[in-house]
Structure 1
Amino acid sequence: MNQLRQSYRQLCLIGLAMCWLGGSGCAVLAPIPLSEIPGQGGMAIGSCDQVLTSQVAQYCDGPDTWVPRELDKATVPIYRVEPPDILTIDVMLQVPHSTYGLNVGDRVLLSVVGTFPDEPIAGEYVVQPGGVIDLGFGYGQVEVGGQTVLHAKSLINAHLLNQLRNPRVSLSLLDASGTQPISGEHLVGPDGTITLGQYGSLLVAGMTLDEMRHAIADHLSPFFVRPMVSVNVYAFNSKAFYIITQGGGLGDSLVRLPYTGNETVMDALSQINGLSYVSSSRIWIARPNRESKTSQILPIDWEGISQRAEVETNYQLLPGDRLYIAHNRLVALDGAIAKLVAPIERIFGFTLLGTSTASRLSGDVLGNNSGSGFIAPSLRN
């Protein structure tokens, strides 16, 4: 069914494009219902002015446009990263190039054949402060800081030739201390870039995951040999929809929810625990459009989708949708009356309190309450 609708829309757009290219005298072929064109059936042929502008455009973008619903959902376009999404980046291969210079803290695997029997040279060695490798008490130290592995091997071999007859040296890099880990979570900044530590920043806004994976690998290529990169979205923060609940004259509430691509009206309302006391069953979706004053309004039958499991108005939400819940008119009227009457009640309350206080403090009240206490009026005579 979705493919049929897409084919129908493509046919409409192709016809529209033909008219743009061919002018007002061109002909367009479009499936128009029998009721729309008297005397015609099935396929109708007419001019652009008669068919496209009055019929085909209506079926392409008119009120009868197909809208994804609960049991007839659409697949959203390929996700493109935007601020402030959070990405999970894994770099499986961080192997330095052969031109990498050894630094303090690097671990190397060194093996030498032809050493003294009681003092072999084999195992892991760490480049110590000063850029030297300590070969042991009998051999001394060799300065290799800043040298490549191949050059460091030559330096060690030349150093051992002073004590050994024919040493054969094998040297390889096990761990580069100057390599900063990249794997982890990365936030897309306001400028659309991610920070890769000492390897700089990379602009990724607007890229798909595959595009970003290749871009990061190319960015790291000067530092590593054929790096393998994996990228996933940890938090979809850039795409969202909104739920606006009218507050019955006491202020509207606004909730922003992240968009994951599968939410319907029921899913959205479940995240705010349904309708509140002040809400009514008048609910609709306001879907924005790039063109001004052309937003799409989709009314929702709340009783139908909740009580009768009808799916016609349980629409699939899209990024930027506004799900608006109108207030109950009686509750709104009660709130409006309360706003109007509350100041008057306060004035009357203050007036009544002031009058009562003045009457208590005036006349014989002060005299009768002084001395031995209160005397009832019936006993004063």
Structure 2
Amino acid sequence: MLRKKTISLQSPAVGCLVILIALALVGSTGCSTLSSLGIPVGRPGNRLLDRAKEISEAPGQSFLIQKELAIAPLAGYNVEISDTVSVEPVSFDASIRLPGDQVVKPDGTISLGEFGSYQANGKTVELMQLEIQAHIDQKLRSEMEVEYAKSEAEIEASSRESGDIETLDFEPAVDSVIENGDASDAADKLELDAERDKREAVRRDRARKEFERRLDEKLKQNRVSVRLTNWDSKKIYVLGEVNSPGSFLYIGNETVLDALIEAGGVTTSSNRHNIIVSRPSSCGECRTVMKICYDQIVQLGDASTNYQLLPGDRVFVPSMTFMDDLKQTFNPQGNQKCPRCAGCDVGCDLPQGCE
């Protein structure tokens, strides 16, 4: 009885045969595949998730996402831990002293010297300036109020001890009554006391106005300026088949191509046709995964997928799988056109859920 013999595609003999055929094809065509002859083919270390690939190829266009030819500033910037802000008096003759450049600490605060600490994390620079100025103004006012109250108490104590009253420009007849003591009856004494109270009220009103004037001058003298001098908290990430993967400081005008160059470029084992950019999202939100047309960007100057990156974006370069490597070996022109080269790919139309 004859037994049917089957040949497994996984057997070493078949694998060697495939490699030999591929090598012959590579040698005859001059194409660089089979991981640029770095046998064995395919590196499973940086595989592209099926879900990521599905979302990146889903319907949707990227009209609202900024690209290389339309770089735009961020809509707003919130200061976070490890950012550096500068808090300085505007005037050179300011009476307050501040530490200057301050790195936002792990607890989200910065130091304001004699004015204590301030919670800066998560706030815009504009809001920080308003709140810090209000905080400083309140402390300066409180200190001057204490001094003013102490001064008034000393004046009142001195007045009670001596019985004197500050001379004001009242009618000469009234001054004569007060200064010469011509108060012979009770009515005159009551009139004298009333006049003294009136003078004291006028004195206090003048003293208060002078205090408010000096306070206003001091507050104007100590206006502060808040500036963002370093934004180390914002990063982008380049991972997968690149020569120097890692996190990189975010400047603000980086594109996908900038990030790939910063990471040392793609390796010979990369699948340039499946590079993606994923944007941070929470569970239940739409996943944003964008397909990158690497060859079109670098060879044709096509900016349609050279997206402007945002803080937290992940650029992922997958490895060349065995099947992708074989396909590009035997059909090197098959992936010449990047799928969805003109579109952005958002996962909003797909079933949502935690990945």
TM-score, reference length from structure 1? 0.44
Larger relative contact order, structure 1 or 2 (CA cutoff 8 Å, min sep 6): 2
More strand by share: 1
TM-score, reference length from structure 2? 0.47
